[in-house]
């Protein structure tokens, strides 16, 4: 099936970098990473009303004065926090607001200002995943870390006392035991939380989450055995919707799943997810771990609920084969393939790293007790191992959730449909796999954040272009649309439009861009 859709111009500038030279006295004094942060800060839109998140953003920098003296006075005048002074180098460490970086560098007594970059000798698996999807490039070059974005996790709770999660859990609600204080007796939710927003404090940053600036709203719906009821999950979803303005909840992570026993048009769980999407919250769900049947053979049709619904962003798992080079990544054999049962929808939407992901753990949890060989020590002195290595689409989903927090940080006006389209359009297709195995392809965080910025009308940054080849297609319903560009103003991205619709509620034809469309009929690509 082929049809043409009107083409709308959109600048897809996959570039990032430094500020052009002008008469600014700071020119030449800021390194490329800080120059990019200054440009991003200047173009940043105001936070939406009702957000409880801080709007200021700080960078850890090294300041060198012309005469080598401490820069304490100028750092304080810039609203920063002076740190350690190195007499032998004539430099001083400081935390400085991004909005004041140009002012500080422009002072005549300042020789130069540099980003205080992280240095490490080894690469752990969680860090490896963040590197290969481009999340570390975003943090270091753009300073985008999800600051102020509320992420709700519906899971087994959270160990808020973990040093990597300290200060990141702003609210907790228990739909299992009605406890008031945060806890995680199973341990799954703590692992998910660390993938999204862990600081990496116990590992010198090696196990830092994808969006360490985001704040977490932990909603407990699974018990000590990792089991629960869909009614608890539904109650948690509705709770997130009710409190979305209070905590600026923009993303909802569901690393939980149920069997598909009815159409997504009737399933209370998928309909609850739809209410969240209609409220402007992007719902991310694990595809499930049913990629192989009882006989060990590859099977299709194993997508779980609520990931079978078109309005949900459904994530399968990729396996990095133990390297940071994404060129050898494969679809994890256990990752559920489409089409969805009963409705026959093309799923998953995307794949992301989900094998041997190392993240935060609670030493008193059931998962910690059951997995002694998967425990991992950090670099900080702790009584028990602070990390655990786990595998599953439950781990892949929060990787994408963290990236979405970065995207919204870069462009707060993004809708759930726009977010899904950008993620699919910038994903990298893995050769040898069909769309019912990998969706649009492997997550590309750098490309997604860069395209999110252009959706906001921000100028392209000047740096080497994204080395990852974008898929330049989206899977709209059961149709794969090859696109020259995405139109930021297309009606397909409006809240209230269901992913896959052919027209809006007002009868307007759905628009995305110029396309070549072919049908992905259920089961056609087995």
pLDDT value for 473: 93
From 188, 207, 215, 512, active-site residue: 188
Contact 304, 393 (CB under 8 A): no
Query: Is residue 487 one of the residues assigned to a domain?
Result: no
Query: Is residue 20 one of the residues assigned to a domain?
Result: no
Whether 36 and 179 share a structural domain:
no
Residue 353: beta bridge partners? 318
As a whole number, the mean pLDDT across the chain is 83
Q: What are phi and psi of 260, to 5 degrees?
A: -100, 115
Q: Is 155 one of the catalytic residues?
A: yes
Whether 164 and 281 share a structural domain:
yes
- CATH number assigned to the domain comprising residue 48: 3.30.70.80
Q: How far is CA 281 from CA 32, 352, 388, 406, in A?
A: 34, 20, 29, 15
Question: Per mean pLDDT, which range of 162-166, 199-203, 227-231, 520-524 is the poorest?
Answer: 520-524
66's CB contacts (< 8 A; 6+ apart) are 108, 109, 110, 111
Domain span at residue 397?
A: 129-457
From 340, 345, 389, 394, active-site residue: 394
Q: Average pLDDT for residues 304-333, to the nearest whole number?
A: 89
Tell whether the model's pLDDT for residue 494 goes beyond 90. yes
Whether 49 and 182 share a structural domain:
no
Whether 40 and 137 share a structural domain:
no
Query: Is residue 170 one of the residues assigned to a domain?
Result: yes
pLDDT value for 7: 23
Tell whether the model's pLDDT for residue 14 goes beyond 60. no
Whether 62 and 210 share a structural domain:
no
Question: Per mean pLDDT, which range of 46-50, 64-68, 439-443, 449-453 is the poorest?
Answer: 46-50
pLDDT value for 193: 97
Query: Is residue 187 one of the residues assigned to a domain?
Result: yes
Question: Per mean pLDDT, which range of 62-76, 92-106, 109-123, 183-197 is the poorest?
Answer: 109-123
pLDDT value for 133: 65
Cis preceding linkage at 227, omega within 30: no
Whether 88 and 204 share a structural domain:
no
Q: Average pLDDT for residues 68-79, to the nearest whole number?
A: 90
Whether 147 and 90 share a structural domain:
no
Whether 55 and 106 share a structural domain:
yes
- CATH number assigned to the domain comprising residue 134: 3.40.50.200
pLDDT value for 141: 72
- The tens digit of pLDDT for each residue in 109-121 reads 998 887 764 422 1
Q: Is 518 one of the catalytic residues?
A: no
408's CB contacts (< 8 A; 6+ apart) are 146, 149, 250, 251, 414, 419, 452
Task: Place 19 in a pLDDT band, splitting at 50, 70 and 90.
Answer: very low
pLDDT value for 57: 82
Query: Is residue 314 one of the residues assigned to a domain?
Result: yes
pLDDT > 90: what percent of the chain?
A: 55
Q: Is 67 one of the catalytic residues?
A: no
pTM for the whole thing? 0.75
pLDDT value for 192: 96
Task: Place 464 in a pLDDT band, splitting at 50, 70 and 90.
Answer: low
Whether 252 and 363 share a structural domain:
yes
pLDDT value for 203: 87
Contact 230, 285 (CB under 8 A): no
* Domain end among 115, 143, 158: 115
Nearest to 411 by CA among 456, 359, 379: 456
| Cα gap 424→408, rounded to integer Å | 16
From 31, 98, 145, 155, active-site residue: 155
Whether 139 and 282 share a structural domain:
yes
* Domain end among 426, 442, 457: 457
Tally of structural domains, the chain: 2
Whether 155 and 84 share a structural domain:
no
Report DSSP letters for 370-412, one per residue. H-GGGEE--SS--SS--EEEE-SHHHHHHHHHHHHHHHHHH-T
- The tens digit of pLDDT for each residue in 181-226 reads 999 999 999 999 999 999 888 888 888 899 999 999 999 999 999 9
pLDDT value for 28: 81
Query: Is residue 217 one of the residues assigned to a domain?
Result: yes
Q: Average pLDDT for residues 335-344, to the nearest whole number?
A: 94
Query: Is residue 326 one of the residues assigned to a domain?
Result: yes
* Domain end among 87, 115, 143: 115
Query: Is residue 168 one of the residues assigned to a domain?
Result: yes
pLDDT value for 46: 57
Whether 91 and 144 share a structural domain:
no
pLDDT value for 269: 87
């Amino acid at each position: 099936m082929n049809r043409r859709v009107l083409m709308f111009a959109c600048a897809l500038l996959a570039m990032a970098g430094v500020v052009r030279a002008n008469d600014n006295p700071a020119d030449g004094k800021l390194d490329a990473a800080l120059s990019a942060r200054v440009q991003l800060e200047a173009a940043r839109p105001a936070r939406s009303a009702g957000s409880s998140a801080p709007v200021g953003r700080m960078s850890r920098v090294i300041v060198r004065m012309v005469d080598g003296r401490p820069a304490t006075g100028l750092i304080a005048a810039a609203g920063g926090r002076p740190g350690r002074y190195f007499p032998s180098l004539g430099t001083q460490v400081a935390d400085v607001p991004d909005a004041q970086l140009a002012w500080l560098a422009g002072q005549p007594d300042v020789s130069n200002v540099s980003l205080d970059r992280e240095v490490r000798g080894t690469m752990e698996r969680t860090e490896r995943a963040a590197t290969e999807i481009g999340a570390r490039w975003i943090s270091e070059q753009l300073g985008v870390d999800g600051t102020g974005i509320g992420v709700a996790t519906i899971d087994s709770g959270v160990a808020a006392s973990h040093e990597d999660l300290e200060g990141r859990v702003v609210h907790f609600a228990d739909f299992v035991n009605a406890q008031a204080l945060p806890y995680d007796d199973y341990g799954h939710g703590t692992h998910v939380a660390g993938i999204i927003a862990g600081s990496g404090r116990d590992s010198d940053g090696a196990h830092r989450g994808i969006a360490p600036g985001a704040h977490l709203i932990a909603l407990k719906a699974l018990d000590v055995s990792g089991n629960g009821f869909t009614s608890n999950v539904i109650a948690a979803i509705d709770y997130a919707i009710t409190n979305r303005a209070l905590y600026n909840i923009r993303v909802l992570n569901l690393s939980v799943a149920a069997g598909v026993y009815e159409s997504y048009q009737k399933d209370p769980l998928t309909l609850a997810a739809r209410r969240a999407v209609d409220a402007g919250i992007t719902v991310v769900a694990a595809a499930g771990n049913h990629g192989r049947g009882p006989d060990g053979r590859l099977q299709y049709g194993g997508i779980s609920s609520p990931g079978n619904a078109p309005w949900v962003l459904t994530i399968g798992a990729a396996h990095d084969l133990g390297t940071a080079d994404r060129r050898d990544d494969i679809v994890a054999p256990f990752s559920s393939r489409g089409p969805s049962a009963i409705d026959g929808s093309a799923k998953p939407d995307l794949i992301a790293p989900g094998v041997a992901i190392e993240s935060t753990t609670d030493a008193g949890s059931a998962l910690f007790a059951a997995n002694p060989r998967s425990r991992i020590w950090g670099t900080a002195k702790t009584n028990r191992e602070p990390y655990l290595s786990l595998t599953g689409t439950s781990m892949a989903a929060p990787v994408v959730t963290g990236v979405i927090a970065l995207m919204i940080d870069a462009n707060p006006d993004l809708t759930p449909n726009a977010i899904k389209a950008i993620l699919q359009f910038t994903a990298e297709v893995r050769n040898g796999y069909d769309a019912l195995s990998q969706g649009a392809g492997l997550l590309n965080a750098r490309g997604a954040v860069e395209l999110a910025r252009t959706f906001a009308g921000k100028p392209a940054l000047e740096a080497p272009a994204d080395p990852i080849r974008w898929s330049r297609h989206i899977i709209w319903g059961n149709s794969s649309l090859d696109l020259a560009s995405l139109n930021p103003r297309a009606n397909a991205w409006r809240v209230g439009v269901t992913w896959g619709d052919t027209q809006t509620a007002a009868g307007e034809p759905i628009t995305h861009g110029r396309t070549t469309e072919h049908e992905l009929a259920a089961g056609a690509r087995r």
